[in-house]
Amino acid sequence: MINIAIVGVGETSYSQRSGMSPQALALHAIQRAVDDAGLDVSVIDGIVPISNSIPAEDVISNFNLPHVGLSATLRIGGASAVGSLGLAATALQTHRCRYVVIYIGKNGSSGERMVQRVSQLPGYQFRRQLEEPFGWGTPLQWYAMMCRRHMELFGTTKEHLARVSLTMRKHAQNNSHAQMYGKPMTREDYYASPMISDPYQLFDCCLETDGGAAIIVTSEERARDLRKRPVVVSGWGVSPPQSPDDLTNRPDWNSIGLTKAAPDAYSMAGIGPHDISALMVYDCFTFEVIQQLEEAGFCGRGEGGPFVASGAIEMDGQLPVNPHGGLLSEGHMTGLNHLIEAVRQLRGECTSRQLPRLQFIGVTGWGNLGDGSMAILRRDHRG
């Protein structure tokens, strides 16, 4: 088996109104990722669009790619970015491809918004027939319900949710690329934000975003000849939750896809949660950070609230989370921006928000009704 590495990363600016097409956003991001790797775009022979991105055919046509050995998309929403590393690994290990691009380009704010994608999710017949008639039909409301149960069972509080939101906003103040850069938030601001579906207020929700992002993946061996120091994918895992098409009758709401994906990732990497220096968590909403910290093994089940309240996820905490500000304060690039941040941190490119002494960085994904993924990244061992 060969190791795979991320050798190039690229993004457009993130905004609420790009004024560009999703095609342009994706293509610009791909070009930047290829430039970052020091490659010519014609070497790309594997294409993995993230769930709701523009199709592979657009990329093939625009760049006039001579040979494509694989194009495929995982339909697991926000778990797709991390999960696509597994898809790329499979393509690279069978020598079907040499350089795989994983990308997204979307107008998630000014164009098709998240709620409009619900009809494309698994089990939509149950949503449409049995749930939407009662006014329960958006991810925000599903996850608010999961959060409420966790609060009742374990004593998780609004103050814990506030701490997640405030920490992500604070981190974004060190990232000029973040949409919330230059817009610090106080606890009073958080509590004053409009209540949407209790316990979620506006500032418990991530930023629907216009933008593009891309990464280039190849074998570790090839990676060593390229421009930037490679970041190796040490382990990955992808898993659905129980009853992945229906949350209502899922036997155990505490268990999510990550509950299985995380042990798979640790096992492949030969490490455990204590070896992780920093974590990029798929922070679609505040409680999901708390739940993923628990299910990825960074604290016990039910202890995620006190864990974040202790300051553990701050830049100087025991497990810094999302130095870039995450989906909550940088932007929603369906988790691809989390992989990009992990790569830049491991390369040491993050200037004012650079974390010291990094060994392994974990990256999680969360999609649909709880599909989970996790990757573990590390520096290449050479030099």
Partner 1 sequence: MNRTILPDINHPDFAFFWTKCRDEVLTVPICQQCGRKRWPPRPICSACHSPDYTWIEIASRGRIYSWTVTHRNMVPHSIQPTPYVIAVVEIDEPRDTLRLLGGLWETPPEIVHLNMLVEPVFVPVNDVLTLPFWRPVQRRHVIACESPVR
Q: With contacts defined by CB under 8 A, name the span among 5-13, 130-138, 277-285, 375-383 that binds partner 1.
A: 130-138
Can residue 132 be called a binding residue for partner 1 (CB under 8 A)? Answer: yes
Q: Is 137 in the site for partner 1 (CB under 8 A)?
A: yes
Angle at 156 between CA 154 and CA 158, to 5 degrees: 160
* Distance in Å, CB of 130 to partner 1, minimum: 6
Task: Name which of 64 and 249 has its Cβ closer to partner 1.
Answer: 249
In the chain, what is the straight-line distance between the N-terminal and C-terminal CA atoms, in Å? 23
Tokens, residue 42: 């014609």
The residues in 31-50 that bind partner 1, with binding defined as CB under 8 A, are none
Using the minimum distance from each CB to partner 1, give the nearer residue, 106 or 150: 150
Strands 276-280 and 231-239, by their bridges, are unpaired
Distances, alpha carbon 31 to alpha carbons 8, 26, 198, 230, in Å: 10, 9, 42, 18
Instruction: Give the binding range for partner 1 (CB under 8 A) out of 28-36, 190-198, 274-282, 363-371.
Output: 190-198
192 binds partner 1 (CB under 8 A): no
Q: What are phi and psi of 97, to 5 degrees?
A: -135, 160
Q: Which structure tokens are listed for 153?
A: 């069972």
Q: Determine the Cα–Cα distance for residues 43 and 231; give it in Å rounded to an integer.
A: 19
Closest contact distance (angstroms) between CB of 349 and partner 1 is 40
Given 111, 136, 273, 302, the residue binding partner 1 (CB under 8 A): 136
Binding mask 146-165 for partner 1 (x = CB under 8 A): x-xx--xx------------
Q: CA dist 192 to 188, 189, 235, 326, Å?
A: 6, 5, 41, 21
- Residue 301 interacts with partner 1 (CB under 8 A): yes or no: no
Place of tokens 């046509």: 61
Q: Which whole-number Å values give the CA distances from 280 to 5, 98, 212, 343, 366, in the listed order?
A: 18, 27, 19, 11, 12
Which of 57, 159, 198, 349: binder of partner 1 (CB under 8 A)?
198
Of residues 27 and 146, the one with the C-beta less far from partner 1: 146
Minimum distance from CB of 245 to partner 1 (Å)? 9
Q: Is 34 left (phi over 0), alpha (psi -120 to 50) or beta?
A: alpha
Number of residues that bind partner 1 (CB under 8 A): 34
Residues of this chain that bind partner 1 (CB under 8 A): 115, 123, 125-126, 128-138, 141, 144-146, 148-149, 152-153, 194-200, 246, 248-249, 253
